[in-house]
Homo-oligomer: A and B are copies of this chain.
Amino acid sequence: MQYKYVRKAQYHETDMMGVVHHSNYFRWMVEARIAFTDENGINYTQMEREGISSPIASVQADYLHPARFGDTVEVALSILRYSGAVLEISYEIRDITDSKLLVRASTRQGFIKNGRPVSLKKAMSEWHEKMLNLSQTYSAED
């Protein structure tokens, strides 16, 4: 199953090529990720209040077709892997009107507390359980 986040491509996200600048898709993925966890009981603000942050360790993206100003797009994400220490997510960004695939991407992120890598399992077992469940419900393999 995929979690779907919908938003519009904004004017200020385009560049002089007339399309959305390729760096901005990573911001859409941030938004999708945060909406996804937030709706599932893992609030990122609260997480940072607990001293845990989750920086991006690596990203990868293939740009198949550009999004244009005014397009309504859907960022569909699913979980490739969750180990407690590492979360890998895959994304398909589509134009919602014709379902055309625009961008295929993935991100990998860890968890950090007091400046050091930490397993969410130890740092916050309640969220770990939730994330485990999510990684099954939204498994990229299904």
The stretch that binds B, out of A56-64, A89-97, A116-124, is A56-64
Assess whether A34 is in contact with B57, with CB atoms less than 8 Å apart.
no
The copy count of this chain in the complex is: 4
Assess whether A30 is in contact with B16, with CB atoms less than 8 Å apart.
no
Assess whether B26 is in contact with A22, with CB atoms less than 8 Å apart.
yes
Assess whether A59 is in contact with B60, with CB atoms less than 8 Å apart.
yes
The stretch that binds B, out of A6-14, A76-84, A128-136, is A6-14
Assess whether A23 is in contact with B27, with CB atoms less than 8 Å apart.
yes
Assess whether B16 is in contact with A69, with CB atoms less than 8 Å apart.
yes
Known: A12-B15, A18-B16, A26-B26. A60 touches B60 (CB 8 A): yes
Name the 7 nearest CB pairs between A and B, nearest first.
A14-B16, A23-B26, A22-B56, A12-B27, A60-B60, A58-B62, A16-B18
